[in-house]
Amino acid sequence: MSPPTAVKATIISDHPQTYEDEHVHAVYDEIAPHFSSTRYKPWPIIARFIASLPTGWVGLDSGTGNGKYLPLPLNRPGDIWTIGVDRSRNLLSIARKAGEGDVTREVVWGDVLGRPWRDGAFDYAISIATIHHLSTAERRKAAVQRIIQSISPSHGRALIYVWAIEQDDLSKRSIPSDQTAALTDSTGQDVFVPWVLTSPAPKVGPKVKPRRRKQNQQLETPTPETSQEDVARESQQRVFNRYYHMFAKGELTALVHDAARGLALEVGPEPVGSEEKRRGLHIVEDGWERSNYYVEFKCWECT
Amino acid sequence: MVRLITHNLLACHAKGCTTNNFPLQFKDVSIELREAEFNPEFLKGFMPRIEWKALVDAARQLGDTTLPSEMPEMVDDEFLKNLHHALLEVHVEEGAMVCPNCNHVYPVSNGIPNMLLAEHEIA
Ligand SMILES: [Zn+2]
């Protein structure tokens, strides 16, 4: 029998929305406080991206979770405003209080496939560890298109971050290589990742409050989830299987290209001295960081 | 949270609703005022991105009449403080936002707007 933290291959059996409701949204609503207590440290690429944004910019965090990116950059608070969207109402209750002090964050209950914004209203967008929860290639492409449409066509910048098939050595997760080898190519891999929750859900009391930040920083390692080993030792536990699409090498950047072309955007750097009206999207950087793939792009427009 | 900074960005996205879908109209709202850190540099940077009339109308709907009808070309400290208050210190806690075009109702509860659509309403 495999340990409860092992990753299992999965086949998407239902209507995608129904499937994600059960294997993503319902799970996050259940595990919200515990999940949040393990998610504090921003990954370096994301912190660097946010630190590079000019004062006065307003952005969208699509799939904000517990809102850990909403207070950034910490060294110049309030210079930019990031508005968080998530499908999990319970995570949003945590996100609206994210960060130090008594600052209230802006959060919106919504879906990453929705488009409840003026077109191009934002200066930037981030989508961190979110698109990999969508269960078809079409839906992942649509989510990228919603991001492109939400940012300014002339200067909008975005960063997308998803889980990679290629895991680093720090990750203790076992990836099922044998039974899914056939599925592992440029189209990625569909898996369940268990979240082990000590059960029954604790009554509110001083002993069961989420652990303090200082301790959690010790626990945090740069993988999508790590702390289930700690709680797995407890006798009563419930296992929630979260659906992930693990991205293959090159798949994320190809997805952004595809999404851009689907919106009639050119893909490539902004042309110099163009006389005609053109719109496009330029990949600024892409790569792999600590078990994740990321892509940063910017939009451009010649008028 | 629905503060006017967010309200100024939100638009209706129900199926087929693509024109006159901004700004959403507040309905039966209760508000709370909470102080926020004043950051004039942020405000100056954000100003060109604001839909000004939508902001002024929404602020007036919430009882704040300090903003001028036209966005001023020269900004002084008093104006920036008023803008700061309207954008970042007025919290709509309960109520709803209604689309001026299709009348779709987006509820606000515990300060969080619900912009989800039922599957048949998604464009
Ligand atoms: Zn509408």
The total domain count for chain B is 1
* pLDDT at position A166: 84
Nearest Cα of chain B lies from the Cα of A195 at a distance, in angstroms, of 26
- Per-residue pLDDT tens over the stretch A23-33: 787 777 777 77
- Per-residue pLDDT tens over the stretch B71-99: 999 999 999 999 999 999 999 999 999 99
* pLDDT at position B34: 95
Q: How far is the CA of B26 from the centre of ligand 1 (A)?
A: 14
Say how far apart CA B105 and CA A172 lie, in whole Å: 47
* pLDDT at position A223: 43
Comparing CB atoms, the residue among B44, B112, B115 nearest residue A56 is B44
Calculate the CA A251 to chain-centre distance. 16
Enter the tokens of residue B13: 């996205």
- Per-residue pLDDT tens over the stretch A221-246: 334 443 444 444 445 777 778 888 99
- Per-residue pLDDT tens over the stretch A3-45: 445 677 777 767 888 888 877 877 777 777 766 665 556 788 9
Q: Is B102 near chain A, with CB under 8 Å?
A: no
Say how far apart CA B93 and CA A206 lie, in whole Å: 29
User: With contact defined as beta carbons under 8 Å apart, do A198 and A237 qualify?
Assistant: yes
Say how far apart CA B111 and CA A96 lie, in whole Å: 9
pTM for this model (two decimals): 0.84
Farthest-apart Cα atoms in chain A, separation: 69
Q: The CATH number of the domain where B45 resides is what?
A: 2.20.25.10
Nearest CA in chain A to B10: A117
Residue contact B112–A111, C-beta within 8 A? no
In Å, what is the CA distance from A115 to each residue of A198, A266, B75? 36, 22, 33
pLDDT confidence bin for A274, thresholds 50/70/90: confident
* pLDDT at position A27: 76
Domain A5-175+239-302 has CATH 3.30.420.40: no
Residue A296 has pLDDT above 90, yes or no: yes
User: With contact defined as beta carbons under 8 Å apart, do A150 and A26 qualify?
Assistant: no
Pick out chain B residues at pLDDT < 50: none
pLDDT confidence bin for A186, thresholds 50/70/90: low
Enter the tokens of residue A230: 């700690």
Residue contact B5–A81, C-beta within 8 A? yes
Say how far apart CA A249 and CA A17 lie, in whole Å: 26
Enter the tokens of residue A50: 């946010």
Comparing CB atoms, the residue among A78, A83, A111 nearest residue B116 is A111
Within chain A, all domains assigned CATH 3.40.50.150 are found at 5-175+239-302
Comparing CB atoms, the residue among A79, A85, A123 nearest residue B39 is A79
Q: Which domain holds residue B114?
A: 2-121
Nearest Cα of chain B lies from the Cα of A179 at a distance, in angstroms, of 34
- Per-residue pLDDT tens over the stretch A114-165: 999 999 999 999 999 999 999 999 999 999 999 999 999 999 999 999 999 8
Helix (H, G, I), strand (E, B) or coil at A214: helix
